[in-house]
Structure 1
Amino acid sequence: EQNYRSTGTILSAANAVIQNNSQRLGKELWTSGDDGDLITLFAAFNEQDEARFVTDRIDELLRQDYRRADIGILYRSNAQSRVLEEALIRTGLPYRIYGGQRFYDRLEIKNALAYLRLIALRDDDTAVERVINTPTRGIGNRTVEILREYARDHQQSLWKSALAMIENGALTARAGNALRGFLSLVEDLAEQTRDMELDSAVDYVVEHSGLIEFHQKEKGEKGQARVENLQELVSAARSFVPEDPDADPLREFLDRAALDAGEQQADEHEDSIQLMTLHSAKGLEFPIVFMVGVEENLFPHKMSMDDPERLEEERRLAYVGITRAEQQLFLSYAESRRLHGQENFNSLSRFIREIPNELINEVRLNNTVTRPSSFASSHIAAQAAADCGIALGQRVLHSIFGAGTVLSFEGQGPSARVQVNFEDEGSKWLVLQYANLQLL
């Protein structure tokens, strides 16, 4: 039970969380070392703000003579790495994805980008080869080899060669029909997305290319992670701002993705920041740990919320994440998060609310302004609201003010208040026990 690595504060937090598991044996970690620093909790405005906080704090830590390899960034969902990777690339901080690949190097993302490249340029041979039979559509290796030979002999692209071979009847009926289906799919994707905004076009392509359905058939968390990554590509498109307003947004987006993919991971032995999922973090320790995205529906994952056994497994993951930190632990959540292609408004994770208030130092808005006492009141108000079934982003109805969206919580006990943005009345603070809000 004795832990020689983590500070007393970190171990106390971990013990407080895991004791909420009913199946937990009576083991409690302890240390003879110092209590150490309080755990930092950062409330970000959105996922970009969260990534900025992480890179800013890392910059401060590196100036305190920590090495980059001393720092681990942990997240629940594989798709969360994208925004963090982009922030690290922008700030020139070398990093590695431990036990995985960078976002734009992931198989499902490369497949989706190949379809998007074909929409922009049919003669992209690399893209054709990548998705001609993904998802599987009956185009075998022999057909592809014949297509390559025809393209070489006629010195033209695979796309033009496919059209010519179909027209000339150079393939068997079965192979010709399968190839015609692929060409028609790409043409249809291009036609349907012609006048769409970039994010809508990307969303349409990942769905109607069949990639979502294809990866949903994979068993376990791998298939789920691939689907979430494809949905995250939609988020990437939604937040993308073209540098040239007159240029084709899709082509600029593809160029940026190629550039980010081209930024090679740090070498295995290079001093670099380590990014990983909480599942990958087991058995590892770092002097400094950032656990990002500690929000309901993300961590614990929404698919585990109604299953007591899976919820306990999520709490064990939280315990693992907390105890990866030896000296300092930073927790962060976003009040608004664009993830998996959707805007989410989630409350602070129940696992973090299980940590005693005196172990937490909350940081909000400006990284230099701390409010040690606000965590207690804000999270108690959030808990009171949660007991009523209300969460951040929840749509509610008031008998006088009409329909609105929950933005924030404040206070504790009978005076706990909830902030609601009403469609017709604007933003109002209401005392929770008198508001009589109906859930929509």
Structure 2
Amino acid sequence: GKLIIHESTTEKAEAEYVVHQIEKMVGGTSMFSHDSGRAASETEAERSFGDIAVLYRLHTQKNALEEAFERSGIPYQVAGEKPLIACTGVAEMLTMLRLANHGTVSLEAAGNLLQFVVKGLGAQGIRTLDESRAENTNLVGRDELKVFADASKVRGKMKEFLQELNQLEQKMQENGLIAAIQHILVLQSWQDKFTGDKELTRNWERLLRIARNRKIMGDFLDYLMLQRNEDAVDAQSERVSLLTLHAAKGLEFPVVFITGCEEKLLPLSLKDMQGDSDEERRLFYVGMTRAKNQLFLLRAKKRLLFGKTLELAPSPYLADIEEQLKAYEKATQLPKRRKKKGYNENQLSLF
């Protein structure tokens, strides 16, 4: 097997290093990688995306990784995470964008959006919308919403909502998809929703991040619709697996990256988050033994965690490994002795 220990300046640089190494292994994924010469040639490609896993101690560490993966075009799956479109407010934001773009949506999608953002509109009002749509279709567009607004008991609120669709359309036409998503944050009907709802704000930020790499409406929507629930890693999937060290138990991959090999993360020792010393060591060992052929242990000098930039020393586990490596290298330089039965010269006892 092969072990590489690498230090980056920040968590973003760490994520870019992961992307760079994966592109070399699989032969490149993006126009940027080919143009810059970052990727290996096709003849050098030796791995598929499904051979690779990136592990981390805390869920928050995957943000920088996702951003780098989305920018590069590397397909990935996150274990135990529901697709973004199933998260709070996301389907409603997408419905709003479709309608602003003069698209049509299902009656159910339109109803969910209206009940989400139009105060005073309930299930009875949605039934009225069902009656106002054209026959032989289950689709609703802005024309149907205008008819519904005129007959609605919350006519004033519906008129305000339609004006917001016009604003969103203007933003999209003049400044593009990213500006339209940014504008959702300041719409009157959405402001109350965002106030104090950290989950909704995080989901909006993730949408914005994806849009920065998929600026065409069709590509953006296709990407979100193709995501699916990953209760567990799909071993047959041709995607890089992103998962916590805990979620990696029982799995194996030819190539494994362990990110965040820093003090306070491994072992975990943050404010209000303290791990048991022995359990943390076992967890790190589990992560390392997920690698069948190649293991990368990565650390960043500075890392953004929960809104604060921390300067973290290397994990003490790295020092343990380096001492073992020195002992191993010294042993391999000694005269060859008869191997004991069952001895594996490539196996390094780390703990």
Q: TM-score range by the shorter chain?
A: 0.5 to 0.7
CA distance in 2, matches of 1:227, 1:215: 6
For residues 395-414 of structure 1, the aligned pairs below 5 Å read none
Q: Residue 53 of structure 1 aligns with which residue?
A: 20
Q: Pick one of 200, 214, 236 that aligns with 1:270.
A: 236
User: CA-atom RMSD, angstroms?
Assistant: 5.0
Checking the alignment, whether the CA contact within 8 Å between 2:50 and 2:238 is kept in structure 1 is yes
- Please give the secondary structure, in 2, of the residue aligned with 1:152: coil
How many Å apart are 1:336 and its aligned residue? 9.9
CA distance in 2, matches of 1:214, 1:357: 48
Q: Residue 30 of structure 1 aligns with which residue?
A: none
Q: Pick one of 233, 236, 256 that aligns with 2:207.
A: 233
Q: Residue 308 of structure 1 aligns with which residue?
A: 271
Q: Residue 183 of structure 2 aligns with which residue?
A: 204
- Please give the secondary structure, in 2, of the residue aligned with 1:134: helix
**TM-score, with normalisation over the residues of structure 1?**
0.49
For residues 35-434 of structure 1, the aligned pairs below 5 Å read 37-41=2-6, 43=8, 46=13, 49-56=16-23, 59=26, 71-75=52-56, 76-77=59-60, 79-80=63-64, 82-83=66-67, 86=70, 90=73, 95-103=76-84, 106=87, 108-121=89-102, 123-125=104-106, 128-135=110-117, 137-153=119-135, 157-167=140-150, 170-171=151-152, 173=153, 175-191=154-170, 195-196=174-175, 198-206=177-185, 208=187, 214=193, 224=199, 226-239=200-213, 252=216, 254-263=217-226, 268=234, 270-273=236-239, 275-278=241-244, 281=247, 283-287=249-253, 288-292=255-259, 308-310=271-273, 312-313=274-275, 320=283, 323-326=286-289, 327=291, 328-332=294-298, 349-350=312-313, 352-357=314-319, 359=321
Q: 1:204 to 1:213 in 2, by over 3 A?
A: same
Q: 1:308 to 1:338 in 2, by over 3 A?
A: closer
Checking the alignment, whether the CA contact within 8 Å between 2:84 and 2:227 is kept in structure 1 is no
Amino acid at match of 1:324: G
How many Å apart are 1:64 and its aligned residue? 9.8
Amino acid at match of 2:205: Q
**TM-score, with normalisation over the residues of structure 2?**
0.59
- Please give the secondary structure, in 2, of the residue aligned with 1:40: strand
Amino acid at match of 2:124: R
Amino acid at match of 2:8: A
Checking the alignment, whether the CA contact within 8 Å between 1:296 and 1:348 is kept in structure 2 is no
CA distance in 1, matches of 2:126, 2:158: 10
Checking the alignment, whether the CA contact within 8 Å between 1:99 and 1:276 is kept in structure 2 is no
CA distance in 2, matches of 1:109, 1:49: 27
Q: Which runs of 5+ in 1 are unaligned?
A: 1-35, 241-248, 361-440
CA distance in 2, matches of 1:196, 1:339: 32
Checking the alignment, whether the CA contact within 8 Å between 2:88 and 2:203 is kept in structure 1 is no
- Deviation readout 1:266-286 (Å, 9 max, x if unpaired): 994625446344276264443
- Please give the secondary structure, in 2, of the residue aligned with 1:133: helix
CA distance in 2, matches of 1:194, 1:294: 45
- Deviation readout 1:76-110 (Å, 9 max, x if unpaired): 3264564365368x45x6x5432123456655443
Amino acid at match of 1:286: E
Amino acid at match of 2:218: D
Q: Which runs of 5+ in 2 are unaligned?
A: 28-43, 323-351
Checking the alignment, whether the CA contact within 8 Å between 2:132 and 2:147 is kept in structure 1 is no
Q: Residue 393 of structure 1 aligns with which residue?
A: none
How many Å apart are 1:147 and its aligned residue? 0.8
